[in-house]
């Protein structure tokens, strides 16, 4: 019996020792034990106010476009704020001058991001500026960038991690229509191209030349000139017209073309020209004399008839006293709306959250959402109710593919008649989602 009692006491002691050891291994705790237990942290939700940078050429070779682009963006911000803003707060638009120059534009982009704290940038205009801004600044900084006017096919190939978009259709479309205008409509069987040596000029010249020759025409020369302004272009023009082409394609900007068109006319080198969006400028033709270009034509990205397009034109004229004077203004306006709607959908002004929500608000399926005060207010209600939306802009359907490109759009033919540019003399709907692209002339 005694041996049994000793064994029982020994086992009881061992159990007590083991229990104490187990307790010693437990983490220390107090009355706030639940707070001491680590839990995964959710990503911070940034709720504003939304700041958008507008990086456009107030100076440099595209300075004619800077103020109109900014005005279109300002109109969008005004309407958005009148409708209630984004996440209940007013949107702020902060201007930056690209100078139509890559280094200056990159410095301005860094200022907009690092100093001003923007969540997204609308810009730049020139493809030759948009590309370095995206690759060196916006994409590494993980900031959404939407260009309203960069048409070079090279943008489609940027490794951008989903941060680079454009609201205008690629020059894969404009180049096709420019060739059809030159060969089929104007009846020229030979042409040379004079183009600015950057991504925009080279891309448009190449696409024009490829399509023009497929149609049966002859490209006698493709001559580039420096992106910087020059005092004279006689050497380049002489080289361009050596093969005696029917017409010279002016694929440049007004600050370039204003010089070489004048030289071509004064020295009787050639007097027949075809233009594009870059050389669509009232100031340029006014300075050179409208009569010198009577009956000539050009192309530019346009928009199909829609209620949103009509409403934008009326709202712009009411705000600024004139109709939209330049191409790509609708696209600038739409870019602001895309950013604002994506931020509202994401419930955040964080750039990554905006990026991730862009396809949700821009692409089908979803209820059609339009710009304007009433349109944006309605879109806010749909988003709050959890209803999918599909933004339909002033420039047309803004449906982005995996490269951030819109693949459906319109290219217009504009004419010079009686000392003025006649907009949308002819309009073509273009679908780049198929190969070869489909082109359909739109008739009233």
pLDDT tens across 103-117, in order? 999 999 999 999 999
Cβ atoms < 10 Å from Cβ of 292 = 15
- Is residue 33 over pLDDT 80? no
Q: pLDDT tens digits, residue range 6-18?
A: 333 333 343 433 3
Task: Report, as an integer, the average pLDDT of 335-356.
Answer: 98
Q: pLDDT tens digits, residue range 372-385?
A: 999 999 999 999 99
Task: Report, as an integer, the average pLDDT of 393-409.
Answer: 94
The first and second tokens of residue 153, run together, are: 């096919």
Angle at 166 between CA 161 and CA 169, to 5 degrees: 130
Percent of the chain with pLDDT over 90: 84
Task: Report the mean per-residue pLDDT for the chain.
Answer: 90
Count Cβ atoms within 10 A of the Cβ of residue 245 and give its class: 0-12 exposed, 13-18 middle, 19 or more buried: buried
Least confident of 24-33, 228-237, 298-307, 427-436: 24-33
- Is residue 39 over pLDDT 50? no
The first and second tokens of residue 174, run together, are: 């404009």
Q: pLDDT tens digits, residue range 240-250?
A: 999 999 999 99
Q: pLDDT tens digits, residue range 294-325?
A: 999 999 999 888 999 999 999 999 999 999 98
The first and second tokens of residue 395, run together, are: 């420039």
Contacts of 262 (CB under 8 A, 6+ apart): 288
Predicted confidence at residue 435, as pLDDT, reads 84
| Top-confidence residue, 17 or 401 | 401
Are β-strands 190-196 and 144-147 bridged in parallel, bridged antiparallel, or unpaired?
Answer: unpaired
**Is residue 409 within 8 Å of 168, Cβ to Cβ?**
yes
Task: Report, as an integer, the average pLDDT of 260-274.
Answer: 98
CA distances from 244 to 202, 205, 237, 349 (A): 22, 18, 11, 56
Burial readout 404-418 (b: 16 or more C-beta within 10 A, e: otherwise) = bbbbbbbbbbbbbee
Question: In the structure, what pLDDT confidence band is assigned to residue 23 with cuts at 50, 70 and 90?
Answer: very low
Q: What is the DSSP letter of 397?
A: B
Question: What element of type H or E holds 412?
Answer: strand 408-416
Domains of the chain, start order: 51-168+305-391 (3.40.50.2300), 172-295+408-442 (3.40.50.2300)
Predicted confidence at residue 436, as pLDDT, reads 82
Predicted confidence at residue 14, as pLDDT, reads 39
**Is residue 68 within 8 Å of 325, Cβ to Cβ?**
yes
Question: In the structure, what pLDDT confidence band is assigned to residue 179 with cuts at 50, 70 and 90?
Answer: very high
The first and second tokens of residue 370, run together, are: 């339009």
Predicted confidence at residue 61, as pLDDT, reads 87
208-212: long-range contacts (C-beta < 8 A, 24 or more apart)?
A: 208/175, 208/178, 208/179, 208/182, 208/249, 208/251, 209/179, 210/175, 210/179, 211/175, 211/176, 211/178, 211/179, 211/180, 212/179, 212/182, 212/183
Predicted confidence at residue 444, as pLDDT, reads 60
- Is residue 63 over pLDDT 70? yes
Predicted confidence at residue 17, as pLDDT, reads 36
Q: pLDDT tens digits, residue range 64-81?
A: 899 999 999 999 999 999
**Is residue 194 within 8 Å of 260, Cβ to Cβ?**
yes
373: left (phi over 0), alpha (psi -120 to 50) or beta: alpha
- Is residue 432 over pLDDT 90? no
326: left (phi over 0), alpha (psi -120 to 50) or beta: beta
Predicted confidence at residue 21, as pLDDT, reads 40
Question: In the structure, what pLDDT confidence band is assigned to residue 345 with cuts at 50, 70 and 90?
Answer: very high
Predicted confidence at residue 207, as pLDDT, reads 96
Predicted confidence at residue 250, as pLDDT, reads 98
- Is residue 405 over pLDDT 60? yes
Task: In whole angstroms, give the CA distance from residue 228 to residue 248.
Answer: 21
Task: Report, as an integer, the average pLDDT of 144-152.
Answer: 96
């Amino acid at each position: 019996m005694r041996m049994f009692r000793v064994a029982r006491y020994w086992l009881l002691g061992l159990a007590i020792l083991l229990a104490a050891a187990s307790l010693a291994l437990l983490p220390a705790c107090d009355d706030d034990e639940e707070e001491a237990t680590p839990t995964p942290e959710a990503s911070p939700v940034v709720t504003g106010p939304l700041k958008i940078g507008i990086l456009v050429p107030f100076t440099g070779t595209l300075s004619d476009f800077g103020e109109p682009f900014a005005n279109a963006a300002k109109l969008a911000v005004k309407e958005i704020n009148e409708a209630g803003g984004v996440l209940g707060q007013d949107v702020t638009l902060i201007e930056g001058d690209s100078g139509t120059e890559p280094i200056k534009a990159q410095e301005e982009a860094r200022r907009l991001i690092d100093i001003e704290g923007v969540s997204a940038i609308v810009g730049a205009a020139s493809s030759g500026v948009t590309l370095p801004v995206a690759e060196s600044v916006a994409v590494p900084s993980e900031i959404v960038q939407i260009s309203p006017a960069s048409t070079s096919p090279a943008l489609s190939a940027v490794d951008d991690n989903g941060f680079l978009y454009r609201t205008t259709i690629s020059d894969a479309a404009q180049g096709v229509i420019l060739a059809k205008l030159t060969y089929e409509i104007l009846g020229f069987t030979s042409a040379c191209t004079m183009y600015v040596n950057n991504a925009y000029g080279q891309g448009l010249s190449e696409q024009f030349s490829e399509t023009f020759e497929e149609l049966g025409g002859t490209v006698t020369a493709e001559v580039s000139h420096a992106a910087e302004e020059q005092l004279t272009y006689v050497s380049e023009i002489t080289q361009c017209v050596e093969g005696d082409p029917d017409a010279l394609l002016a694929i440049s900007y007004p600050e370039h073309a204003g010089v070489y068109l004048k030289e071509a006319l004064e020295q009787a080198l050639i007097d027949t020209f075809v233009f594009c969006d870059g050389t669509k400028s009232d100031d340029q033709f006014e300075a050179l004399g409208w009569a010198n270009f009577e009956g000539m034509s050009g192309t530019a990205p346009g928009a199909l008839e829609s209620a949103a397009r009509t409403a934008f034109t009326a709202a712009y004229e009411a705000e600024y006293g004139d109709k939209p004077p330049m191409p790509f203004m609708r696209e600038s306006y739409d870019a602001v709306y895309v950013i604002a709607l994506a931020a509202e959908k994401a419930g955040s002004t964080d750039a990554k959250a905006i990026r991730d929500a862009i396809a949700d608000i821009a692409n089908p399926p979803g209820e059609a959402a339009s710009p304007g005060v009433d349109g944006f207010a309605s879109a806010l209600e749909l988003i709050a109710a959890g209803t999918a939306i599909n933004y339909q802009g002033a420039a047309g359907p803004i449906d982005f593919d995996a490269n951030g490109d819109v693949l459906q759009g319109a290219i217009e033919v504009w004419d010079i008649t009686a000392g003025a540019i006649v907009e949308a003399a002819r309009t073509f709907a273009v679908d780049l989602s198929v190969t070869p692209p489909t082109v359909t002339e739109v008739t009233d």
